[in-house]
Amino acid sequence: MRDRVALIPAYEPDLKMVAAAHDLWANGFLVIVIDDGSSAACKEYFEDAEAYAIVLHHEKNRGKGEAIKTGLQYLQARVPLPCVIVTVDADGQHKTEDVLRVTQEAEAHPDAVVLGSRKMEGKVPVKSRFGNAITRAVFRLMTGQRVYDTQTGLRAFASEKLDEMLEIPGSRYEYEMNVLLELAKRNEEIREVWIDTIYINENASSHFHPLRDSVRVYSQILKFSASSFISFLIDYAAFCVLFRFTSRVVLSNVLARLISGSVNFTLNHKVVFASKEKTMRAVCKYVLLAAGILVLNTWILKGLTAIGISAFAAKVITEVILFFASYIVQNRVVFKSTRKEQILT
């Protein structure tokens, strides 16, 4: 059996962090606690944890992603490999028996990343239940894969994935979403093990900032929305000008689409998806997508105007209808390598 290592990133913890370190140590884990720039008021908790764990310190708060990476770098430099690594939250939300089950699943499936997924049953804060549902839907939209709990901090994987985990961008809470997105991109297996859902004091100890950290987590789809909006403005302006001069809906729509499409491709290829796909190959796929979208766009536009909706209003409605279809195809086909569906347990 491989050695087991537990990483506990901690910011402003309390005695629950010390208890988690003790219980994992008592169950045979090498425990590494990462103090992510906590205040002097928490010094005693880290000193208590040193009886059971190696404690690493950040002078300033750098975020959960950086704390995890600090632990991984320490493992890489100081701990004999191979081993199985599990990340555990410091706020008491993860039972030791659940940590053990997730770790055992990773030992049985060393090529996979195993998530301890909460069923969201019982007394779950509304914001947590809603946030998880939204993130689950966004992840499905972006990857085509079903992962029930994308926000869980309980994750286990083999040390062979250390280099990969350190390369993934992200300093704060977005790091955990980026890990899942990168796994999906690389066709690597994601497995899920059901764990108990525990929220203490309405999750008051969480340091997740709803606005700031949500922007980071959803950064790709937000960038896609901005790119689409810019392209829409260009497309709409061109359509209005052309329609004023020609009074022909179809011709104006086709020419406007050609103008805005070139802008949209450049933004999505270079900025939104930061694709490594060869430009000409991506262009060919994008042109096919654009042609299909154009046919649908024109068909919907003609249908709406035929039932009495003004051409200008019909154009807005059509673009909204096709927004999500365009995102899905660009993300999964145009700017990504082919991806096979993963089976989650």
Enter the tokens of residue 19: 């208890």
Task: Name the residue with tokens 């060393």.
Answer: 110
pLDDT of res. 102: 97
Where do runs of H (alpha helix) occur along 168-310? 174-185, 210-217, 219-246, 249-267, 279-306
Amino acid at 326: S
| pTM tops 0.85 | no
Distance in angstroms (rounded) separating the CA atoms of residues 21 and 222: 38
CA angle at residue 318 from 313 to 323, to 5 degrees? 130
The correct CATH number of 3-217 out of 3.10.20.600, 3.90.550.10, 3.40.50.300, 3.30.200.20 is 3.90.550.10
Per-residue confidence in pLDDT tens, the chain, 345 aa? 689 999 999 999 999 999 999 999 999 999 999 999 999 999 999 999 999 999 999 999 999 999 999 999 999 999 988 999 999 999 988 999 999 999 999 999 999 999 999 876 656 556 556 667 777 877 777 677 888 988 899 999 999 999 999 999 888 888 998 899 889 888 899 999 999 877 555 444 454 454 454 555 566 667 777 887 898 899 889 999 999 999 898 899 889 988 988 888 888 777 776 666 677 888 888 888 878 887 888 899 889 999 989 888 888 888 788 876 777 677 667 776 433 333 333
Domain limits, the chain: 3-217, 221-333
- Upstream peptide bond of 9 is cis (omega within 30 degrees of 0): no
Distance in angstroms (rounded) separating the CA atoms of residues 130 and 152: 14
Enter the tokens of residue 206: 């969480």
